[in-house]
Amino acid sequence: MAIAFKDLKGPKGLPVIGSLHKIELGNMHNQLEGWSDEFGPVYKLILGPSKLTVITDPAIIQEILKERPHTFRRMAKMDDVLSEAGVNGVFNAEGEKWKSHRRIVNKGLDVKHQQQFYPEIMVSLERLFNKWNKSENASIDIQQDLLRFTVDVTTSLAFGYKMNTLEEDGDVIQEHLEKIFPTIFKRINAPIPIWRYLRSKKDKEFDHAVVEINKFIDELIKDGEERLIAQPELREKPTNFLESLLVAAEEEENITNDDVRGNLMTILMAGEDTTAHTLAWTIYLLADHPDIQDKLHQEAVKVLESEDWLSTYSKHSSLIYTEAVALETMRLKPVAPLLLSEPLEDVVVEGYLFKKGARLLTQSRYAGIQDDHFGNPNDFLPERWIKEEQGKCPMGHDTKAYIPFGAGPRFCPGKNLAMLELKLVLSMLMKNFKVEMTGPKEEVSEIMAFTMMPSEYSVKLVKR
């Protein structure tokens, strides 16, 4: 007989509120991992009216993610919260609508576009280099620079809009974007939608951020529409995601003007924080590994030759060790470790019965840091991702337990772009500088706010 919700163990709670009082939202992913140690890979968590099944078993997670959009969907509550904020995009679309959105997203983010827009990415990379070169030996807030870099790259590649937040001061779009994820995460986890009746200071800041982002999106749409009028041939062969969306909104029933807006918001949000925080985690991990920094430097010298950054697109595939460092960072510090799903029918997976409409919370980091999946799981060992090295040491290496970009048909469509950005920034940084932390590393903590980011820290860049 399949194991049902009532048979599962889980943390003991209080009447009515369950374990709600125990949840520290910003640290929830770690709490979930702790409870998985105690209650196993599938357990129940009652948070007020919300009955969650928490899953850390990689085989079950893979199966759930693979069986979308037919047997599982993203949790409906997520769509309620996102749609209310005007985000009707590929991330929260379902069924046939999701298929239409996803087709356009895949095309807009494919490798061909990366190649085509490489010169634009280079402009942002050069700006980042110049900024860091000037700040040599000073203590810098590198996280802010990384967020500006990723927003500039995303807008240029996906929307064909030339942004330069890296060289602007003050009120840039990125400051509004950073208000969005924490509020959305809070609302998804709220037992009742209190913000609909009582608006806190944070809710008002969120409303203001949404208005400002929408103004920016108006600009992007106007810019795209003008391009389509000036160059009607782009209708047949759109050069980016925005142009494809605008054409689809005119021609396809499944794509409305609201969907255009919602998808621009989705890509802005999905493309910025995730990659910037992954870079911030990599730099944090490298700070006390000068040996790994030296290896990265040697690879960068070999591949970049006399250049300060990689100006030839095709050479990025030679940055093998750099890629391994990024992959290893995402095993220890995946920035999107929590995904929410819901079965569309009663379904049994690996002996567990998940009823239609059940709330499933998958925690994807847990498996990647257990020694039954990866040897020496707590050590930062990029070599484990290099094929020739894997044979030399008897370490477990179970790639099924490695899920930082999700899995199945809805896996991250920005993966290739993210990997490219990670390699470009890391090779530029390591070719030219050594990184040192200016404050105590132990004080940097993991903060969960939809994405999992490091708390603020500063570094010093020492010229090589």
- Cβ-count burial of 442 within 10 angstroms (0-12 exposed, 13-18 middle, 19+ buried)? exposed
Pick from 42, 52, 75, 90 the residue near ligand HEM by CB under 6 A: 90
Site residues for ligand HEM, 293-352, by CB under 6 A, read: 335-336, 339
From the list 55-63, 180-188, 212-220, 262-270, the region that binds ligand HEM by CB under 6 A is 262-270
Binding window for ligand HEM (CB under 6 A); candidates: 128-136, 292-300, 347-355, 412-420:
412-420
| Cβ closest to ligand HEM, residue 60 vs residue 407 | 407
What is the nearest approach in angstroms of ligand HEM to the Cβ of residue 199? 29
Q: How far is the CB of 57 from ligand HEM (least distance, A)?
A: 16
Q: With respect to ligand HEM, which residue has the nearer C-beta, 71 or 135?
A: 71
| 275 touches ligand HEM (CB under 6 A) | yes
* Residue 412 lies near ligand HEM (rule: CB under 6 A): yes
Asked if 69 is part of the footprint of ligand HEM (rule: CB under 6 A), the reply reads no
Closest approach of ligand HEM to the CB of residue 392, in Å: 28
Per CB under 6 A, 255 contacts ligand HEM:
no
Applying CB under 6 A, which part among 54-62, 172-180, 201-209, 402-410 lies near ligand HEM? Answer: 402-410
- Residue 414 binds to ligand HEM (criterion: CB under 6 A): yes
Q: Total residues at the site for ligand HEM (CB under 6 A)?
A: 30
Q: Which stretch binds ligand HEM (CB under 6 A): 39-47, 163-171, 267-275, 439-447?
A: 267-275
Among 327, 418, 430, 449, binds ligand HEM (CB under 6 A): 418
Instruction: Select the residue interacting with ligand HEM from 154, 174, 189, 363 (CB under 6 A).
Output: 154
Give the chain as a 3 state SS string: CCECHHHCCCCCCECCCECHHHCCHHHHHHHHHHHHHHHCCEEEEEECCEEEEEECCHHHHHHHHHCCCCCEEECHHHHHHHHHCCCCCCCCCCHHHHHHHHHHHHHHCCHHHHHHCHHHHHHHHHHHHHHHHHCCCCEECHHHHHHHHHHHHHHHHHHCCCCCHHHCCCCCHHHHHCCHHHHHHHHHHCCCCHHHCCCCHHHHHHHHHHHHHHHHHHHHHHHHHHHHHHCHHHHCCCCCHHHHHHHHHHHCCCCCHHHHHHHHHHHHHHHHHHHHHHHHHHHHHHHCCHHHHHHHHHHHHHHHCCCCCCCCHHHHHHCHHHHHHHHHHHHHCCCCCEEEEEECCCEEECCEEECCCCEEEEECHHHHCCCCCECCCCCCCHHHHCHHHHCCCCCCECHHHCCCCCCHHHCCCCHHHHHHHHHHHHHHHHHHEEEEECCCHHHCCEEEECEEEECCCCEEEEEC
182 is a contact residue toward ligand HEM (CB under 6 A): no
Instruction: Report the residue number, 423 or 460, with the smaller CB distance to ligand HEM.
Output: 423
Nearest to 338 by CA among 10, 21, 31: 31
* N residues, the chain: 464
- Alpha-carbon distance of 354 to 267, in angstroms, equals 31
- Which span (50-58, 174-182, 272-280, 369-377) binds ligand HEM, by CB under 6 A? 272-280
Give the residue with the Cβ less far from ligand HEM, 258 or 411.
Answer: 411
362 binds ligand HEM (CB under 6 A): no
Segment lying near ligand HEM (by CB under 6 A), choices 126-134, 368-376, 379-387, 403-411? 403-411
184 binds ligand HEM (CB under 6 A): no
Residues of this chain, 93-152, that bind ligand HEM according to CB under 6 A: 102, 105, 109
If one asks whether residue 452 binds ligand HEM (CB under 6 A), the answer comes out as no
Report the residue number, 41 or 334, with the smaller CB distance to ligand HEM.
334
Does position 417 interact with ligand HEM (CB under 6 A)? The reply is yes
Extract long-range pairs of 207-210: CB within 8 Å, 24+ residues apart.
Answer: 208/176, 208/179, 209/176, 209/177, 209/179, 209/180, 210/85, 210/86, 210/180
177: contact with ligand HEM by CB under 6 A:
no
Residue nearer to ligand HEM on the CB measure, 11 or 337:
337
Residues that bind ligand HEM (CB under 6 A): 65, 90-91, 102, 105, 109, 154, 158, 266-267, 270-271, 274-275, 278, 335-336, 339, 404-408, 410-414, 417-418
